[in-house]
Structure 1
Amino acid sequence: MTEIILHLSAGQGPCECEWVVAELARVLCREGEAEGLDCEPVEPLSGTAPSVLLRVVGEGAERFAAARIGTIRWIGASPFRPLHKRRNWFVGVAPAPRADDIPDFREEDIRYQTLRASGPGGQHVNKTDSAVRATHLPTGIATLSQDQRSQFANKKIARLKLVMLFDEQRRAGDAGGKRALWGQNRDLERGNAVRSYEGAGFRLRRA
């Protein structure tokens, strides 16, 4: 069974782009389910999100992902600034990096710690030590996952997030890498979208 993790990102975009990221994650989940795929956010969604990890599982997951990787445009008025004239907002979709494809990332460099998951008052608080913090010892990068019920699932997510942060730091490790990343952000703003949605209902816009 094929599993792909997609990374939806607002890049350097404003809060509107972060809103689009969260809404787009919901839209892609509905599209995936319509194609017979299991599609869900790796962690719970909020109203806005600078980035979201989306898990896509099933036969046809690669085809589904390939049609959505790149820049996605949402056309509509800002939900936060009604008088803002801009109507085109761009977010990026990319496959999450895999540890096996990243130089110098080794499992033996990761320290896992379990702790009790916590949440705001009134919400269910896990009474077992199911939350997991993953720390990359050579760099000090650390991530936490506590939203899954099992320790195993939280460990997998914490590791996935750690791989992504390590890869981002590695790519931005020199001036050339930083220029490349800023270049990608500018390309994102200019568009060249692989898919476009419009309106509050995120209706797919046909070419």
Structure 2
Amino acid sequence: MTEIILHLTSGKGPDECRWMVAQLSRAFTREALKDGVVCEVIDSEEELPASLLLSVTGDQAEAFVSARVGTIQWIGESPFRPRHKRRNWFVGVNIAPSPDAMPDLRDEDIVFQTMRASGPGGQHVNKTDSAVRATHKPTGLIVTAQEQRSQHANRKLARQKLAALLDAQREKAGDNARQAQWSTHQNLERGKAVRTYTGPLFALKSPR
């Protein structure tokens, strides 16, 4: 069964774009049911996430993902600034880099620490040391993973998060090798939207 990890990012966008990231993850989850695939947020579910990781699994995962990678547009009034004149907002959807395909993410450069999970998450929380903190020694980047139930799964998720952060760091440093991913908000605005949603209910707009 195919699994693809999507990265949804607000780029440099304001809170409206962060809100859109959360709404888009829910929209993709609903749409997945109709397309015979499963979408699941595997990153922490903040109320206004700047970005998050979404697992897409199933035999039709590649087709589902290919229809959604790129710039996503939402048309609607700001949920935070009712009098704001802007009505067009953008976020980016990209395939997250594979940790195994990144030569600068070696296991010997990662320090894993176990800790007790906290916050919502079911009966296993605060009973087992399943949460993981991962530190990438060369860069000092630190991530935590507690969304999965096992320590092994959280270690895998932590590596995925580090890969995403390293990829973003390279983009910020001007690495042109991955220009198609981790677009800045300015690039998102100039890009042609592959999907458009409208209104407070985040309804998919039918193509003309």
- Give 1:150's aligned residue: 150
Partner of 1:14: 14
Name the SS of the counterpart of 2:144 in structure 1.
Answer: strand
Does residue 38 (structure 1) correspond to residue 35 (structure 2)? The answer is no
RMSD: 2.4
Q: Distance in 2 between matches of 1:192 and 1:3?
A: 26
Q: Is residue 16–residue 78 contact of structure 1 (8 Å, CA) maintained in 2?
A: yes
Which residue number corresponds to residue 69 of structure 1?
69
How far off its partner does 1:144 sit? 0.5
1:180 deviation in Å? 9.5
Three-state SS of the structure 1 residue aligned to 2:157 is helix
Q: What SS does structure 1 have at the residue aligned with 2:91?
A: strand
Corresponding position of 1:2: 2
1:69-111 deviation line (CA, Å, top 9, x unaligned): 0000001110111111111100000000112332322222212
Taking the TM superposition and a 5 Å limit, the aligned residue runs for 1:55-134 are 55-119=55-119, 125-134=125-134
Distance 1:175 1:149, change over 3 A: closer
Q: Distance in 2 between matches of 1:119 and 1:72?
A: 31
Tell me by how many angstroms 1:53 deviates: 0.7
Identity %: 57
CA distance in 2, matches of 1:156, 1:100: 11
Question: How has the CA–CA distance of structure 1 residues 181 and 124 changed in structure 2, closer, same or farther, with 3 Å as cutoff?
Answer: closer
| Distance in 2 (alpha carbons) for counterparts of 1:67 and 1:98 | 20
- Taking structure 1 as the reference length, the TM-score comes to 0.89
Moved over 4 A (4+): 174-177, 179-184
Whether the 8 Å CA contact 1:90–1:191 is kept in 2: the answer is: no
Could you tell which deviates more after superposition, 104-113 or 68-77?
104-113
Q: Is the 8 A contact 1:75 1:88 kept in 2?
A: yes
> How big is the shift at 1:174?
5.0
User: How many residues in Structure 1 have an aligned counterpart in Structure 2?
Assistant: 204
**TM-score scaled to structure 2, two decimals?**
0.89
- Matched residue SS, 2:111: strand
Q: Which consecutive unaligned segments of at least 5 residues does structure 2 have?
A: none
